[in-house]
């Protein structure tokens, strides 16, 4: 089904109006182009949901970063940064970063491995690290926005039977999905963080099943969060300069 047909189908189901914005999180130039295209519309922005969840894939992004880290963290980091001034002027606003409970299994971030191809066979250790980055990014962003009316949230959506598992062979994929929740159920915590009055005065916290939950020890490391921010900012700035020279 074509993108326009999908958008029309969603609009018919919800009664809303949709516009498709092309965005390739594995290509930071595409991220900049998408942000600029949205900014050019002159619209306010009250809710931004970063819902990248690439898992089980191996390789590098177009800009040379480990694939899961680049798609799940660095692309959303840049996209959010480019829209941050608009979010502030549109406040009250919320930024929702969809992480995963898989971040509990990532004990550290090996910065020396983030600018090379995926080293594991399954790609899952890298996925876990990218989800830890989501939690750290959200918490650090909340600290930096503490004097604004922009709140930040990270969350575990549940293990969802979505197309994220399309690389798993069919017999195993079907069996796995029997034990997963539906995409509708998986959206509930994201919707809660984006819209609920119950968390409108909260920021920088981690959620699971529409409730706050303590993230991993690494996910609470403020020094690690600050270092991730510094390096992410440096990396996206370097790719910006490269794009400008081309």
Q: Annotated catalytic sites, by residue?
A: 127
DSSP 3-state of 171: helix
Contacts for 154 with CB less than 8 Å, ≥ 6 apart: 96, 97, 98, 99, 134, 135, 137, 138, 139, 205, 206, 207, 215
Count of alpha carbons within 13 angstroms of residue 31, beta-carbon side: 28
Burial class (CB in 10 A: 0-12, 13-18, 19+), 166: exposed
* Length of the chain in terms of residues written: 246
Cis before residue 92, ω within 30 degrees of 0? Answer: yes
Q: Confirm if 190 and 49 have CB atoms less than 8 A apart.
A: yes
């Amino acid at each position: 089904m074509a993108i326009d047909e999908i958008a029309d189908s969603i609009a018919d189901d919800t009664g809303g109006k949709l516009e498709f914005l092309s965005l390739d999180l594995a290509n930071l130039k595409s991220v900049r182009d998408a942000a600029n295209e949205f900014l050019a519309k002159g619209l306010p922005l009250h809710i931004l949901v970063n819902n990248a969840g690439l898992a089980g894939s191996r390789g590098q992004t177009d800009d040379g970063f480990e694939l899961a880290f680049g798609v799940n963290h660095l692309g959303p980091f840049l996209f959010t940064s480019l829209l941050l001034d608009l979010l502030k002027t549109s406040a009250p606003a919320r930024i929702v970063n969809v992480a995963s409970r898989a971040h509990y299994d990532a004990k550290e971030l090996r910065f020396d491995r983030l600018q090379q191809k995926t080293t594991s066979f399954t790609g899952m250790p890298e996925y876990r690290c990218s989800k830890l980055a989501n939690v750290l990014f959200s918490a650090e962003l909340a600290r930096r926005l503490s004097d604004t009316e922009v709140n930040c949230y990270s969350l575990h959506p549940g293990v969802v039977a979505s197309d994220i598992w399309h690389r798993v062979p069919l017999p195993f994929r079907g069996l796995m999905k029997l034990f997963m929740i539906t995409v509708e159920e998986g959206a509930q915590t994201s919707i809660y963080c984006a819209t609920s009055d119950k968390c409108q005065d909260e920021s920088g916290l981690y959620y699971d099943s529409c409730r706050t939950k303590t993230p991993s020890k690494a996910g609470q490391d403020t020094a690690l969060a600050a270092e991730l921010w510094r390096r992410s900012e440096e990396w996206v700035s370097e790719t910006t300069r490269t794009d400008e020279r081309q």
